[in-house]
Amino acid sequence: MKILTIILFFVLVSEGYGKCLLNDISVTQTRTGVIVKGKPEWSVTVTNKCSCAQTNVILNCSGFQSLESIDPSVLTVSTNTGFCLLTPGQLINKDGIVSFKYTWGNQFSLNPISSQSSC
């Protein structure tokens, strides 16, 4: 009985450690220096810093627009909801990087709103 309790404790603890936080998703943006139709191009790099893979990473795309098209398998933009889904249906591994570019007069914050960890 005691051993079972100890095992259960470690299972719970390890699952607790396995959970990713939104802070584990890092979003950085830089200007590429390229000007498209008079507007600057931005390069976005999203990195999964969690020790687990993550999926269904949603970024806040409120008001998001781009003069250049973005591959929907990298980022599916939903202007209606203001949410963008990163690499739909795919896992982003630990230290995995997803990057895309967009062109607009201002930078959008693209903060992560939710994600699912897959440990």
Ligand X SMILES: *[C@@H]1O[C@H](CO)[C@@H](O)[C@H](O)[C@H]1NC(C)=O
Q: Which residues bind ligand X (CB under 6 A)?
A: 60, 62, 109, 113
Least distance from ligand X to the Cβ atom of residue 83, Å:
8
For residue 46 the two structure tokens come to 């999203």
Least distance from ligand X to the Cβ atom of residue 58, Å:
9
The residue (of 56 and 62) whose beta carbon lies closer to ligand X is: 62
Per the document, the length of the chain is: 119
The residue (of 52 and 61) whose beta carbon lies closer to ligand X is: 61
Give all strands (DSSP E) within 37-103, no chain letters: 39-48, 53-60, 75-78, 83-86, 97-103
Least distance from ligand X to the Cβ atom of residue 109, Å:
6
Q: What would you measure as the largest C-alpha separation in the chain, in angstroms?
A: 71
- Alpha carbons 82 and 101: distance in angstroms, whole number: 18
The residue (of 93 and 114) whose beta carbon lies closer to ligand X is: 114
